[in-house]
Amino acid sequence: MIIDDIRMIHAYEKLLPGLQEGLEAIQRNGADAPVGRYEFPGGWYMIQEGDTKPYLEGTYEAHRERIDVQILLEGSEELFWSDLASLNTVSSYDPETDKERLDGPKEHGILISAGMFYAAFPWDGHQAVSHIARQHHYRKIVMKLPVQKAEEEIR
């Protein structure tokens, strides 16, 4: 898991192949584009907006084919992280959605505010769009980048 200020996102390009193409697509379309899905070579991103849910109501998710890069544009959310080894499958992996749902202890949480981003890799169980005490409103970009390409770059 990577968590950082958006000003530092380019420092992670080797770990996040396709990131530059995604950022260029966001620049072309504008971060104020309507909620929806936008394609770029090698991936896509979604603009999402809504209100967080109590963290005890949610589950972790993990992906095998894509790396999640989430950029908070407005508001905030509380993000929970756990290593996959400490989680139990609630809903088996679905290759069509590239998602597995998991449950387990929620010990590692952090407030992600506008101007921050995070990247969740296949070994990261993550639960986003949550809150502990007070509901938050958010607007964010969720970018999906290919995993295989990233593994090749790291080697």
Q: Give per-residue pLDDT as tens, 78-106.
A: 999 999 999 999 999 999 999 999 999 99
Which residue, chain included where needed, has tokens 């290593």? 83
Domain boundaries, the chain: 2-154
Output the pTM of the full model.
Answer: 0.92
CATH fit for domain 2-154, picks 2.60.120.370, 3.40.50.620, 2.130.10.10, 3.10.180.10: 2.60.120.370
Count of CB atoms situated within 10 Å of the CB of 60 = 25
Question: Token digits for 103?
Answer: 């449950």
Arithmetic mean of pLDDT, 124-131: 98
